[in-house]
Amino acid sequence: MQKKSSFSTQGQRADIGELEIYRMLPNRYADAVGPFVFLDHIVPTIQTRINKEGTGAHPHRGIATLTYILNGEDEHFDSAGNYAMVHSGGVQWMNSGKGIIHDETLNYDSQTDSKVVHALQFWINLPSDIKAEKPAYLAIQGSDVPRKDLPEGKGWIKVIAGKFEDLRSVIPDYSEQFLYHIHLEAGAVFEIALAAELEAAAYLPEMPGIINGERFNAGDFIEFDRKEGTVELKNNEKKATDMLLFGGGPYQEPIFAEGPFVMNSKVDTAIAYRDFYNGEYGKIDYEKQRGQVK
């Protein structure tokens, strides 16, 4: 039996500098899908000026940030001393744990001829015991993201988080989670079965698509019911399209989200702010970190 869509919605503008951004999650219908509590879509843009200022150093606590760079290159700095430059198709993942300051700069990819920048950023809510751990970081280049071709040349699937068949992401699973990028050629169909306990949503970043027999528009965020069933993605367009499918087990603890912090109580949130203003998250040394990479 196919899962039914609970709702669909378009995002709200949340631009940063010259980046055009649509905030898809949270939205007026849902605050979370499985462990995912946030999704920003940096829409495809031709970049005419290099961004040298980044998005601005800012703190996080209680979440893991996951930036999936569809086109461009993303430079990461954080107060734990981590630095990396990840290119088109790659992923930046950071467990903020008990507190960290980070900054990211998205520019067009210096390794290609394309001037397009295009990315997605997710926040993954951490279980309360993980929120007290030390921060952690992974830089995953596009060639290291698990990928499998679909049968009969229908397209491919990338596993950004979680697992699919024999593919498994290197990103840690603190709870059940999945994030798939599914690329479908014209006329192709992809179907996946999901268990009853899983929450799931789909996102169509650039083109319309047919999901369980229902047509949705480009930019639509679609959440499904909680019943066991299948999700069928179909591309009826004349050219290839991309769809995101993500979710996981429902978060079992209270959620208190305020600004850059996602905690389990108002008291926890107040402590997160206190520790940040007391300087306990450290500082970023931009020149030192960039100079460590030859």
pLDDT tens digits for 207-238? 999 999 999 999 999 999 999 999 999 999 99
pLDDT at 286: 83
Confidence of residue 164 (pLDDT cuts 50, 70, 90): very high
Are the C-beta atoms of residues 262 and 123 closer than 8 Å to each other? yes
DSSP 126: P
Residue 291, pLDDT above cutoff 80: no
Mean pLDDT in residue range 132-153: 97
pLDDT at 293: 60
Q: Please list the residues that pair with 36 across neighbouring strands.
A: 33, 124
pLDDT at 289: 85
Q: Tell which residue, 199, 278, 267, 202, has the closest CA to residue 62.
A: 267
Confidence of residue 41 (pLDDT cuts 50, 70, 90): very high
How far is 120 from 219, CA to CA, in rounded Å?
Answer: 12
Domain ranges of the chain: 5-291
What's the CATH architecture for 5-291? Sandwich (2.60)
This prediction's pTM? 0.96
How far is 80 from 247, CA to CA, in rounded Å?
Answer: 29
| DSSP H/E element including 289 | helix 286-291
Are the C-beta atoms of residues 223 and 257 closer than 8 Å to each other? no
Joined tokens for residue 127: 């279980």
pLDDT at 52: 75
**Phi (first) and psi of residue 287, to 5 degrees:** -65, -40
